[in-house]
Structure 1
Amino acid sequence: MFRGSIVALITPMDADGGIDDASLKRLVDFHVDAGTTAIVSVGTTGESATLDEDEHCRLIARTLQLADGRIPVIAGTGANSTREAITLTRCAKEAGADAALLVTPYYNKPTQEGLYLHYRAVAEAVDIPQILYNVPGRTACDLLPETVARLAKVDNIIGIKDATGDLKRVAALREGCGEGFALYSGDDASACDFMLLGGDGDISVTANVAPRLMQEMCQAALADQRVLARACDRRLSALHRDLFVQSNPIPVKWAACELGLCGVGIRLPLTWLSDQFHARVRAALEQAGCL
């Protein structure tokens, strides 16, 4: 089980939207040096929605190559087509990923039974540890705790990233899925409380730019060191808020560029951070000690 701060890594791009390999290496090394628990490659923050299948697979493989066993890599392999999710998950396994993270099928609004059958099909098709990912604010689809409890019985489904921000779900998921099932927050603003209530970590946007402080907060929360955890979280609170002033990953890519971690590059239909938000995001970086 991965425990602590897991970065939902941005995909660095050049001005034309091509993948920037030099910056990818810089980012991987940055997180190894900072002690980040693991990297999620090509998740939502990694702009998976605008990468084609070949790019998706090659980026996972390249991230693993750059990590070189120094940090675990979890591959984002979800899709709204079960067949595509299986294909991407096979790519991740063949590349040597430590696990796969699969977002709920978006846009087509499956039933709970459809979600169960989708995830079971991927798990049965590809023998790699798999983490469910529930983010109804993006997908228009909510993976309910009782469905997660059914899926927790599938051997290689090992956990869930829950990005609902609903802290009541922690107890419901733990009760339904058992102690051996990993519970990860996908909502930075509530992640500290999520872990203090029994979660195992945070798959984080904020960790892209404040990895050491995020790891310190997560480890304190996991050790039930509440005063330290909350003190760290207060320093991070402006980032948790302001990295979402426009759609993720727009603000965090600008922030990473501001720190010299990557260049100016994002793919349409996303655009670079609007000028009106620059001072606000810069102030959040300063509050967290990143600048």
Structure 2
Amino acid sequence: MQLTNKAEGTFAIAPTPFDPEGGIDVKSVDSMCDFYTEVGCSGITVLGIMGEAPKLDADEAIAVASQVIKRADKLQVVVGVSAPGFAAMRSLARKAMDAGAAGVMIAPIPSLRTDDQIVTYFKQAIEAIGSDIPWVLQDYPLTLSVQMTPGVIRRIIQDLPSCVMLKHEDWPGLEKISTLRGFEKDGSMRPISILTGNGGLFLDFEMERGADGAMTGYAFPDMLVDVVRLSKEGRREDAHDLFDAHLPLARYEQQQGVGLAVRKYVMAKRGIIAHDAQRKPGSSLSAAGRAEVDYLLARLAIKDKRAAV
């Protein structure tokens, strides 16, 4: 089940479940994988930015990835392998693929500035991990501070055939999707899967611009699954109605600093994971914050009964 440029649907960005003492909650890893499978996700991405990957040591990282791959055996699992050095990137990438991963995801390091620096970095990264591994190019300038123009993305895709997917998280980014799909139409770029992030905040129109689905985190991945499906079925009004109902909570979850705390809090309330704990250093919700989330859930439940937790 290796990743290809035909990948579509919803790939849930999985948080790493921890117990209150900071240990990995292996039971919650299983329950989380079961939930993603049951609600119709096409895949799971682990060890991403919201997966608290930097808080795991090398052995923990491959242990979490391997457990997800084994438990979610019906889904494609993408493993984030971004690292400051290529040796660590290669080690995790090779181990993840040996464990059965569908592919890996690589983000640029924040120090890259020029187009040539960006292209060279990814060429060296693929030389390190091996060109036999399908990989996802993560474009997330809001967090990584690396600006990749459509032209640079085209260069990377054309120069590196093992790149099969773009994780598109530019903001605003709708025109970038249209430009890339235009490159495909005029034959200047080979076809590639485009899955979108940013907590799903623009998923409704991203699908209409040509995205193949979502690769992001949100406490209701089942909503993302439904919006992607409804969009592909041409049911525009239904897709927007469902999306609009969730938008206040999705917006609240996008707050810098406490976004992961919100997501884990709701996932725990839904029974997806047992605890909303983060490994230190981490944020937590205040009593006022929890009350606000509960209020948003109650309002959402009027339109979507899945929020009645």
Q: 2:307 corresponds to which residue?
A: 290
Matches within 5 A, 1:39-50: 39-50=44-55
- What is the deviation of 1:53? 2.1
Paired residue for 2:137, among 132, 144, 153?
A: 132
Alpha-carbon distance between aligned partners in 2 of 1:276 and 1:246, rounded to the nearest angstrom: 17
- Distance in 2, matches of 1:21 and 1:211, equals 20
Cα pair 2:261 2:276 within 8 Å, conserved: no
Tell me the secondary structure at the aligned position of residue 45 of structure 1.
helix
**1:85 positional shift:** 2.3
Counterpart amino acid of 1:112? D
1:204 and 2:216 are equivalent in the alignment? yes
Per the alignment, residue 4 of structure 1 pairs with 9
Letter paired with 1:159: M
Alignment partner, residue 253 of structure 2: 243
Deviations 1:57-89 (A, max 9, x none): 22111111111x211111111123333322322
Runs of 4+ in 1 over 4 A off after TM superposition: none
Q: Distance in 1 between matches of 2:291 and 2:180?
A: 39
AA of the residue aligned to 1:171: S
1:275 aligned to 2:287? Answer: yes
Specify the alignment match of 1:101 in structure 2: 105
On the 8 A contact 2:102/2:134 being kept in 1, the answer is: yes
User: Could you tell me how far apart the structure 1 residues matched to 2:295 and 2:10 are?
Assistant: 23
Any stretches of 5+ residues in structure 2 without a counterpart? 1-5
1:159 corresponds to:
165
Q: CA deviation at 1:43?
A: 0.8
State the alpha-carbon separation in 1 of the partners of residues 45 and 223 from structure 2.
18
Q: Distance in 2 between matches of 1:193 and 1:179?
A: 23
Report the counterpart of residue 64 of structure 1 in structure 2.
69
The CA deviation string for residues 143-199 of structure 1, in whole angstroms up to 9 with x for no partner, is 222111011122110111111222111112223354621111112111111111111
Q: Which has the larger radius of gyration?
A: 2
Instruction: Specify the alignment match of 1:123 in structure 2.
Output: 126
How far, CA to CA, are the matches of 1:251 and 1:164 in structure 2? 22
Residue 115 (structure 1) shift: 2.0
Post-superposition shift, 1:213? 2.2
Tell me whether 225-234 or 121-130 shows the greater mean CA deviation.
Answer: 121-130
Mapped contact 2:167–2:197 kept (Cα < 8 A): yes
Deviation at 1:91, TM superposition (A): 2.1
Superposition pairs for residues 80-91 of structure 1, below 5 Å?
80-91=84-95
- What's the secondary structure of 1:141's corresponding residue? coil
Relative to structure 1, the CA distance from residue 229 to residue 264 in structure 2 (aligned partners, 3 Å threshold; closer, same or farther) is closer
- C-alpha deviation, 1:94, in angstroms: 1.6
Report the identity percentage: 22
1:219 match = 229
Corresponding residue to 1:92 among 90, 96, 115:
96
Asked if 2 retains the 8 angstrom alpha-carbon contact of 1:192 and 1:233, the reply is yes
Query: What TM-score do you get using the length of structure 1 for normalisation?
Result: 0.92
Q: Which whole-Å CA distance do the structure 1 matches of 2:297 and 2:137 have between them?
A: 30
RMSD between aligned residues: 1.8
Report how many residues are paired: 287
Supply the distance in 2 between the matched residues of 1:264 and 1:232 (Cα, whole angstroms): 26
> Is the CA contact (8 Å cut-off) linking 1:79 and 1:104 kept in structure 2?
no
**Structure-2 separation of matches of 1:183 and 1:84:** 27
- Secondary structure (helix, strand or coil) at the match of 1:267 reads coil
Q: Which whole-Å deviations, capped at 9, do the CAs of 1:81-103 have from their partners, x for residues lacking one?
A: 33332232222212110111112
Q: Provide the residue aligned with 2:278 in structure 1.
A: 266
- Evaluate the alpha carbon distance shift between residue 57 and residue 212 of structure 1 in structure 2; reply closer, same or farther with a 3 A threshold: same
What TM-score, normalized by structure 2, do the two folds share?
A: 0.87
Q: Give structure 1 stretches of 5+ with no counterpart.
A: none
In structure 2, what residue type is equivalent to 1:276? A
